Amino acid sequence: MAERQEGKNSIQVIERMMALLDALSESPDAVSLKQLAQTTGLHPSTAHRILAAMTGSRFVERHDPGTYRLGIRLLELGNLVKSRLNLREVAQPYMQSLHEQVGESVNLGIRHDDEIIYIERTSSGRSLIRVVYLVGGRAPLHLTSAGKLFLAEDGPQKVKEYAKRTGLPGKTPHSLTSLPALEKELDWIRRHGVSFDNEEAEAGLKCVAVPVRDDEGNLVAGLSVSAPTDRHNADWIDMLRTTADEISHALGYTKPRK
């Protein structure tokens, strides 16, 4: 009985510690003990006692007298977690969930020089596997929805350099093979945060992609859904955005406050 009560008390302390850490994380400035107690619903003496213990472990730092902020130990642990994160492993469960919702192939692509490389894919099982979307498959950036996200991120000057370097080769009659046409589409992507491949990499196949970002806000991957043209559905965009946001959040990304 005593052990059960001790375990219950330990869990309660951990829950209170987490509540205090969450409250501290919501403020860019140091927070007073009074404010922390009000936010968490803890008695000031209880909050003070727990904060003192966390200060001793460097999870929390005392700033001015009576105010607190997150401590350097959290940064150390965060960097350790970041170094061990694997984008593919993080994304897999979210991609599988999206796949179950849309019933089509979900792809994760990263940039390597002037190409997109697909590092993960869920197969729809409803059509022949497309060569472009095999794991490890490559394609020019300007021919894929995920690749266009990276070009849009580059900015106009780097896009011109890309066009000059590659010559903008096409694969289908729908491929964007001129710089003005590509620039127009990339400008649209920058404004809307979503990209399309309208049978540009492969005839009969459409794709839509949104960005995945890391803890520093950098574009690290494009998350896309691909399907034959007759099965493509514009309603996927919201689900795709939600999934990409979940993956980005798991990588440590926090959306800027508006």
- CA-wise closest residue to 62 among 85, 33, 92: 33
CATH number given to 12-80: 1.10.10.10
Note down pLDDT in tens along the chain; length 258 residues. Answer: 545 555 566 788 889 999 999 888 888 889 899 999 999 999 999 999 999 998 988 999 988 778 999 988 888 887 666 665 588 888 999 999 999 988 888 999 999 899 998 888 887 555 444 444 566 778 899 999 999 999 999 988 999 999 999 999 888 899 898 999 999 999 999 999 999 998 888 888 889 999 999 888 999 999 999 888 888 888 889 999 999 999 999 988 887 766
Within this chain, domains 12-80 and 85-251 share the same CATH topology: no
Q: How far apart are CA 186 and CA 182, in angstroms?
A: 6
CATH fold of the domain at 85-251: Beta-Lactamase (3.30.450)
Question: What pTM value is reported for the model?
Answer: 0.68
Where exactly are the structural domains of the chain?
12-80, 85-251
